[in-house]
Amino acid sequence: MITSSAVRAGDLAWRQLTVPAPSPVPVRVYEPGARPGGWLVWAHGGSWQYGSAADWHPVTHRLAALSGWNVVSVDYRLAPAHRHPAALEDVLAVLDWAAERTDAPIAVGGDSAGATLAAGAALAQRDRGRRLDAQLLAYPPLAPACATPSHLRDPGAFPQPAALRRAWRAWRGTGPATAVASDGTALHSTPLDAPDLRGLAPAVLAVGALGPVADDVLAYAGLLKAAGVPARLIHAPGAAHADLLRPRSRLLPHLADSLRHLP
Asked if 94 and 27 touch (Cβ cutoff 8 Å), the reply is yes
Spacing of C-alpha 248 from chain mean position: 20
Tallying the residues shown for the chain, one arrives at 263
Q: For strands 70-74 and 39-43, give the pairing.
A: parallel
Element holding 149 (H helix, E strand): helix 149-152
Contact between 15 and 6 under an 8 Å Cβ cutoff? The reply is: yes
pTM of the model as a whole: 0.95
- Helix (H/G/I), strand (E/B), else coil: 218: helix
Query: Is the link from the previous residue into 105 a cis peptide, with omega within 30 of 0?
Result: no
pLDDT category of residue 235 using cuts at 50, 70 and 90: confident
Burial 184-207 (b: 16+ CB within 10 A, else e): ebbbbbbbbebeebeebbbbbbbb
- For residue range 60-93, list pLDDT tens digits in order: 999 999 999 999 999 999 999 999 999 999 999 9
Q: Note the pLDDT tens digit of each residue in 117-144.
A: 999 999 999 999 999 999 999 999 999 9
Domains of the chain: 7-260 (3.40.50.1820)
